[in-house]
Amino acid sequence: MSESRDPIPGSATARALPPDLQGKRVLITGGTGTTGKTLTLWLLSETDTEEILIYSRDEQKHHELQLDPEFDPARVRSVIGDVRDLDQLTHSLKDVSVVFHTAAMKHVHLAEQHPIEAHKTNVLGTRNVVEAALAQKVDRVIASSTDKAVDPANVYGNTKFMMELELLNADRERAGNTRFDVIRHGNMLGSKGSVVPLFIEQAKKGCLTITYPAMTRFWIGQKDLVDAFHRCLSQSGGGEIHIPRSPACRIDVLAHAISEEANQDVIGMRPGEKQHEVLTAISEGPRLRDFGSHLVVYPPSSTSPGGEPVADDFQLRSDLAPQLNISEMRSLLQSEGWLTE
């Protein structure tokens, strides 16, 4: 399977931007990545966003995006840049109203080996996004975070935890009118370099490498991810962490869903990996509200949060969340375009 699949599976109704953001310019850091491309296709197909600036480093990925007819060159513009480069970011954010900050070092094992590099991109890079957004009076910044940022057990999770703090502190300080929010979610089904494309490739050779069969992970598809960004843009007052609720499954269930026949070779957990993930910390409980389809961690200053309060010991855990069985996982993979019917 390639990454050029149906734009946003299952998107039945258009998700327009709030009136004050319509017809404006959006910049996506990491716009050539899986999340960035998903958000770009949403903006192109369902909103009247005037221009989408794709901000990332590797010129080859920009070149490939420009060759892809799905990315209308009249509305999508490449900007070669690094989030570590404050000058380039500040320059690029001129006349931009919304930033989706998705650029990151995200491979757990590489961040373990290069903690300072992960810190430079994920923490200092985010600090630059904040400073540039404030300097250019951007209206909204929404950043992608991960379950690994909760009770972090590895370098990647720690850097994303600090990324969240950078954004939430910036919102609390209210040095300008820019509002900063976070979307925290589990594994994006089939993202670049993730286990789904790996298993699909390995299945062709008849053996899948399983780290730990009983390991569980949350799984989110493109539609639910776009819904989360749209909801956050439309509803947040700033300083919020939006957490879409998604199902989970064991890693051996995912492997069976991808191939019934292939052998499973258990290779053991890698440094920094957890057996189960959590999407909310117990310490967030007093500020956490449940909306059914999603949860929101509100800032301490919030006086009228919506939703329902959660129990004192509540945690959204991948081993306790609704578990997908093999056929449900297969259906999800099919609906996202990763498996054929």
Ligand X SMILES: NC(=O)c1ccc[n+]([C@@H]2O[C@H](COP(=O)([O-])OP(=O)(O)OC[C@H]3O[C@@H](n4cnc5c(N)ncnc54)[C@H](OP(=O)(O)O)[C@@H]3O)[C@@H](O)[C@H]2O)c1
Choice from 6, 48, 50, 58 touching ligand X (CB under 6 A): 58
Q: How far apart are CA 278 and CA 296, in angstroms?
A: 14
Residue placing its CB nearer to ligand X in the complex, 305 or 317: 317
Choice from 11, 15, 21, 29 touching ligand X (CB under 6 A): 29
Judged by DSSP in three states, 171 sits in helix
79 near ligand X (CB under 6 A): no
* Closest listed residue to residue 104, CA positions, set 29, 191, 13: 29
112 near ligand X (CB under 6 A): no
Q: How far apart are CA 99 and CA 87, in angstroms?
A: 16
* Closest listed residue to residue 160, CA positions, set 216, 190, 119, 117: 119
Return the sign of the alpha-carbon dihedral for residues 46, 52, 58, 64: positive
202 phi and psi, to 5 degrees?
A: -65, -35
* DSSP assigned state of 256: H
Residue placing its CB nearer to ligand X in the complex, 30 or 337: 30
Two structure tokens written together for 325: 């069985």
Two structure tokens written together for 327: 């056929």
- The residue annotated as part of the active site, out of 37, 61, 106, 148, is 148
Please answer whether residues 81 and 241 qualify as being in contact, where contact means their C-beta atoms are separated by less than 8 angstroms.
Answer: no
88 near ligand X (CB under 6 A): no
Q: Identify residues 190-219 at the interface with ligand X (CB under 6 A).
A: 191-192, 194
106 near ligand X (CB under 6 A): yes
Q: Which stretch binds ligand X (CB under 6 A): 16-24, 132-140, 188-196, 291-299?
A: 188-196
188 near ligand X (CB under 6 A): yes
Supply angle C-alpha 197, 201, 206, rounded to 5.
Answer: 135
Choice from 11, 27, 34, 278 touching ligand X (CB under 6 A): 34
Q: Which stretch binds ligand X (CB under 6 A): 18-26, 53-61, 132-140, 259-267?
A: 53-61
103 near ligand X (CB under 6 A): yes
**Smallest distance from ligand X to CB 121, Å:** 4
Q: Identify residues 152-171 at the interface with ligand X (CB under 6 A).
A: 160
146 near ligand X (CB under 6 A): yes
x/- map, 255-294, ligand X, by CB under 6 A: ----------------------------------------
Q: How far apart are CA 44 and CA 211, in angstroms?
A: 38
Q: How far apart are CA 81 and CA 277, in angstroms?
A: 32
Please answer whether residues 202 and 262 qualify as being in contact, where contact means their C-beta atoms are separated by less than 8 angstroms.
Answer: yes
221 near ligand X (CB under 6 A): no
- The residue count for binding ligand X (CB under 6 A) is 29
Q: Which stretch binds ligand X (CB under 6 A): 77-85, 270-278, 281-289, 330-338?
A: 77-85
Q: Which stretch binds ligand X (CB under 6 A): 6-14, 50-58, 283-291, 326-334?
A: 50-58
Q: Which stretch binds ligand X (CB under 6 A): 26-34, 63-71, 261-269, 303-311?
A: 26-34
Question: Residue 148 catalytic?
Answer: yes
How far is CA 193 from each of CA 4, 50, 112, 137, rounded to the nearest angstrom? 15, 31, 16, 35
Q: Letter for the amino acid at 7?
A: P
Q: How far apart are CA 121 and CA 180, in angstroms?
A: 18
Q: How far apart are CA 25 and CA 48, in angstroms?
A: 10
User: Which are the catalytic amino acids?
Assistant: 148
Instruction: List contacts with ligand X (CB under 6 A).
Output: 29-30, 32-36, 56-58, 61, 82-84, 102-104, 106, 121, 125, 144, 146, 160, 185, 187-188, 191-192, 194
